[in-house]
Amino acid sequence: MRTYRLERPEIVLTQAPVPEPGPGEILVRVHAAALNKRDLLILDGAYSLPARPGVIPLSDGAGEVVAAGPGVTRFRAGDRVMGSYWPRWHDGRLRPELVDQPGCTLDGMLTEYALLDEQAAVAVPEHLGWAEAATLPCAALTAWTSLTAGGALLPGRTVVTLGTGGVSLFAVQFARLAGCRVIVTTSRTEHSDRLKALGADHVIDYTATPQWGGRVRELTGGRGADLVVDTAGPATIDQSVRAAGLYGEVVVLITRDAARDHLAISHEAYASSLATLRRVFVGNRTDLEDMCAAVAAAGLRPVIDRTFTDVPDAYRHYREGSPFGKVVIEL
């Protein structure tokens, strides 16, 4: 089979025998895999979790079960599945002994055939194609838990999302499904119509309005947002806090910022509300199953920027192309 390995500074195509599933394992013919920000950090040697040398990259992928090992009961040949971002975290809280991740410390999904523990797989919503399904395990689930893990997000509440990356676009879609008002900040004003078609009520150009936290308050009649999903961290945290309502929440999804090595919130912003800062780290398998049920019930379709068959081209476009939505590799 064709399989890719991490050999910094490159992803290298290799040949390997098709593995056989052992007890409790399923063999999946992978049809599509998707890139996330963490995959660039892993390639650059900048990720917080050290990657295993020669590991198969990418946490996200979807495919068809072609064989099942002894004792498997959750799936059978022909089932359509995706892998979980945290193969050993099935429910409850994340614990240190569960932190292994595919594409980093465990082999990932950038391969023709992948071995998965049956407990680490989740059924693909029936209406989705392979490329669409491959986008769900990391970005979509991060957006889902950002919106749901803090408690019930009721219809009529205001959600703010930042930018046009995968997590942000899923957050727009999920917030709209929940009946929320959605405000998006972006520098790419040419995408305003596309954002509004996804469910955004207002789009703020943060280059023209760098103090966009104040603009959020204006749009909400001074009340502020109930939830801000901050995907930029160091560059935006002060404005996110300013945008949040008195008892709002700011979900901080920290990404590496070469210009800043810490989060800085001004005293003025901190004193302006009683907002809560919350962290999420994707989500567990039960969260993924709950999210997939919602995706299926709503007929939601992920936003795909482009699909590739050439792996270096896909990585290059993801790094340099400012994609609107997800970048997917078809295998």
Scan for tokens 């999946």, then name that residue. 28
Query: Can you list the domains of the chain with their CATH numbers?
Result: 2-138+283-330 (3.90.180.10), 150-278 (3.40.50.720)
Helix (H) or strand (E) holding 28: strand 25-34
Question: What pLDDT score does 228 carry?
Answer: 97
Which of 97, 117, 98, 95 has its CA nearest to residue 107?
117
Question: What pLDDT score does 255 carry?
Answer: 62
Which residues, in sequence order, are bridge partners of residue 277? 250
- Please report, in tens digits, the pLDDT of each residue of the chain (331 residues total): 999 999 989 999 999 999 999 999 999 999 999 999 999 999 999 998 999 999 999 999 999 999 999 999 999 999 999 999 999 999 999 999 999 999 999 999 999 999 999 999 999 999 999 999 999 999 999 999 999 998 878 999 999 999 999 999 999 999 999 999 999 999 988 999 999 999 999 999 999 999 999 999 999 999 999 999 999 888 899 999 999 999 999 999 976 555 567 888 999 998 888 999 999 999 999 999 999 999 999 999 999 999 999 999 999 999 999 899 999 999 9
How are beta strands 10-15 and 121-123 bridged, if at all? Answer: unpaired
Report which residue type is found at 305: D
If you ran DSSP here, which 8-state letter would residue 155 be given?
Answer: T
* Distance, CA of 328 to CA of 55 (rounded, Å): 19
Q: Are 147 and 178 in contact (CB under 8 A)?
A: yes
Angle among Cα 57, 58, 62 to the nearest 5 degrees reads 125
Question: What pLDDT score does 184 carry?
Answer: 98
For residue 138, how many other CB atoms are within 10 A of its CB? 28
